[in-house]
Amino acid sequence: MKLLYLIFHGFEAYNGISKKIHYQVSALKKCDVETRLCYIHIDNDGYQRRMIDDQVLENIGHGIKAKIKKRVDYSTILNYLEKNDISLIYIRSFHNANPFLISFVKQAAKIGVKTLLEIPTYPYDNEYINSSLSARIKLQIDKLYRRKLARNIFRIITFSNEKNIFGAKTINISNGIDFDAIKIKEPTNNPNKITLISVAEIHIWHGFDRLLKGLAEYYKVKQDIEVRYEIVGYGDEREIAKLKNYIIQNKLENYVTFHGPQYGESLDNLFNEASLGIASLGRHRSGISNIKTLKNREYAARGIPFIYSEIDDDFEEKPYIMKVSADESPINILDVIAFYEKVNTIPAIEIRNSISNLSWRNQMEKVISACK
């Protein structure tokens, strides 16, 4: 089987989405699927090219013409599909349903190519509530055409429990892990200090403000146990500004640090100092109650107990997780300390081994099996 994995953007070394895509491609190859990756590369001077792996498929050009062309003209991809006997396209949704993408999928079907559409987060409309005007317009176009797009694809890949999305049947999988790429954390032992860590593309639905509010309450009186919070990543600038302003207003500067995007050894070092992971605390804000997030799995793969608020069927009964309410209440830091004291003796390797079934290879095998 030959598969083309199609995305509508490029890659960044520190970006979790970029890493995930490469992990998925690697896993597909381990499933004996001949896989090529199609993406957009933008030079420092703004020149855009459509790539297949490390080969140029198409020179798109500069400026507004290039921005339009890459969104409406898929002819070079269609030619590639036909010339290379590709039987399956795996598209990562960019919330970009439109007549041009629909036409592309229809034409691919005419030459015998099945299309899969991965929707990383579903539902996603509420993620746009505080977005820019251009982003909201993009969503409205997507809403106009996504059901018609769904009628022309084989299956939608979802990390939710939904059996049908936009009228299309789904393949339900979990976000996975490439265990070879993620180091297990080294043990820490400081009874008077607990270090919390969040690694994310920061948005309002992560609910990190709930943790900050809990820290503000905790430090209203002198404490024997120092609780620190390390926030790693970039994201919505307005949300980050709100978080930083809250830190200053509540005199939390000595306890909370923004590290920006990190990867490689610097990220490993931050995890080695961490006691607990803080995952999503605000998915209810985007209307989501059940989701299988990548971050929960990455914390477990590192061997770190973690805290979250949604329903994640892969972790609900695990002894190393703490569930908090899916609401706007501050996180009780005394409860966090009690949780840490209960789980800090669980070996990191035991946590990691508990999710051995969540390898990306296992997840992508489910996808390929459904396509045979």
Which residues fall within 8 angstroms of residue 371, CB to CB, at 6 or more apart? 1, 88, 114, 116, 154, 155
pLDDT of residue 109: 98
CA distances from residue 290 to 95, 201, 252, 267, 350 in whole angstroms, order as listed: 20, 19, 32, 28, 25
pLDDT confidence of residue 333:
99
Q: Is residue 76 domain-shared with residue 170, that is, in the same domain?
A: yes
Q: How is 185-200 classified by DSSP, letter by letter?
A: PPP---TTEEEEEEES
Residue whose C-alpha is closest to residue 319's, from 284, 354, 289? 354
Closest CA to 324 of 306, 340, 341, 342: 306
- Summarised one tens digit per residue, pLDDT across range 7-57 is 999 998 778 899 999 999 999 999 999 999 999 999 999 999 999 999 999
**Rounded-to-integer distance, Cα 301 and Cα 178, Å:** 9
Neighbours of 354 (CB within 10 A): 17
Judge if 50 and 95 occupy the same domain: yes
pLDDT tens-digit series, residues 41-54? 999 999 999 999 99
Q: Is the peptide bond before 191 cis (omega within 30 degrees of 0)?
A: no
Q: Of the candidates 308, 275, 295, 300, which has an alpha carbon nearest to the alpha carbon of residue 350?
A: 300
* Region class of 226: left (phi > 0), else alpha (psi between -120 and 50), else beta: beta
For residue 119, give its domain range: 2-177+360-371
141 and 118, same structural domain?
yes
DSSP state of 87: -
pLDDT tens digits, 176-210:
999 999 999 998 878 899 999 999 999 999 999 99
Note the pLDDT of residue 50. Answer: 98
pLDDT digits (tens, 9 = 90+) for 276-295: 999 999 999 999 999 999 99
Mean residue pLDDT across the chain: 96
* Residue 351 identity (one-letter amino acid): I
Which residue stretches of the chain are H helix?
A: 16-30, 63-72, 75-83, 99-110, 133-151, 208-218, 237-249, 264-273, 294-302, 333-343, 348-353, 360-371
**What confidence score (pLDDT) does residue 135 get?**
94
Which pLDDT belongs to residue 57?
A: 98
Query: Residues of the chain with pLDDT > 70: what percent?
Result: 100
Burial class (CB in 10 A: 0-12, 13-18, 19+), 302: buried
Residue 50, CA distances (Å) to 56, 70, 78, 178, 361 in order: 6, 8, 13, 26, 27
Give the CATH number of the domain where residue 91 resides: 3.40.50.2000
Rounded CA-CA distance 60/288 in Å is 37
CA distance linking residue 6 with residue 92, whole number of Å: 7
Q: Which of 321, 338, 225 is nearest to 280 (CA)?
A: 321
Closest C-alpha to 294, from 196, 206, 180, 162:
206
Q: Got the DSSP string for 210-249?
A: HHHHHHHHHTTS--SSEEEEEEE--B-HHHHHHHHHHHHH
Contact yes or no for 271/250 (Cβ under 8 A): no
Check whether residue 141 and residue 185 sit in a common domain. no
Token pair in block for residue 77: 């991809």
pLDDT, position 12? 86
Residues 121 and 216 occupy one common structural domain: no
User: Which parts of the chain register pLDDT below 50?
Assistant: none
User: Where does residue 344 rank: exposed (0-12), middle (13-18), buried (19+ CB within 10 A)?
Assistant: middle
What is the number of other CB atoms lying within 10 angstroms of the CB of residue 292?
23
Q: 242 and 119, same structural domain?
A: no
Q: How far apart are CA 203 and CA 252, in angstroms?
A: 20
Judgement on whether residues 198 and 140 belong to the same structural domain of the protein: no
Provide the pairing of β-strand 155-158 with 164-165: unpaired
Query: Do 214 and 158 fall into the same domain?
Result: no
Q: Are 171 and 184 contained in the same domain? A: no
Q: How far is CA 336 from CA 116, 205, 227, 264, in A?
A: 41, 20, 10, 28
Query: Quick one: 308 and 277 in the same domain?
Result: yes
199 and 327 inside one domain: yes
Residues 22 and 157 in one domain: yes
Count of the separate structural domains present in the chain: 2
User: Per DSSP, what are the bridge partners of residue 366?
Assistant: none
